[in-house]
Structure 1
């Protein structure tokens, strides 16, 4: 997991530690679910969020792969359908008192061509951040899953994405 999951909005210097403790047990969800392409074919249903909570989990980690939702314009605009699906997942998670980790999961494309994918990566994070800015602090963001590249390069990209 990326080291900057939290963007601390509280003045409480221990807030990140409290959020981390609150996270507790977690479960990865929806990565390869057809929900991303066709909501009517979703395997993950509303009832599953409740069952996850009943089973004793405190958080869900949503694997997102937004590169394929680029509308192929100069700004790498993300198809609105992606955000409709993401919003539904986040809202179901929060409704069931599950902290939500939005996990940017494009490591394969990024490790093949870190500098070539960097503009799309940064553009998409700007859109995701703007779209999700009003969610509560129980929604956290993993800037990149398994960033397999030279540490110096990743540190630079990570810093730009975080800013």
Structure 2
């Protein structure tokens, strides 16, 4: 087999592998269930059902350093990285015997997914020298060095549901 044929075949296999792997990566969250069926059969009683989702964190594109007139170093030397995700969800449903009547009743609690947006901490620095000055024949002047921390940001609106009702 010629090297060009092998190269073409390798490119096709790589494209097919990327196309097959894309749907797995495109998921927003991974469902998680706590298996309690074995305990339910061993103890011969109804057990609670527990499940939820674990979100996948998606980093964004950082807002890079910006040039500021009069400074030697750019503003936001260490940029903040935006991160978007969902808060994990949790669903819990447990039987409670004879609370509202003769049949098994249940208590359910859940936290639905909600959007989460965050910015990582960043830093801004300035050198102990100013930009070259015309009045000093192009030489920089001394100044106090500056260092600052850009605070992290977290924005979310979590919620919860609590219910009590008949049946399981």
TM-score bracket, normalised by the shorter chain, equals under 0.3
Larger strand proportion, structure 1 or 2? 2
TM-score w.r.t. length of structure 2: 0.23
Q: Which structure has the greater CA radius of gyration?
A: 2
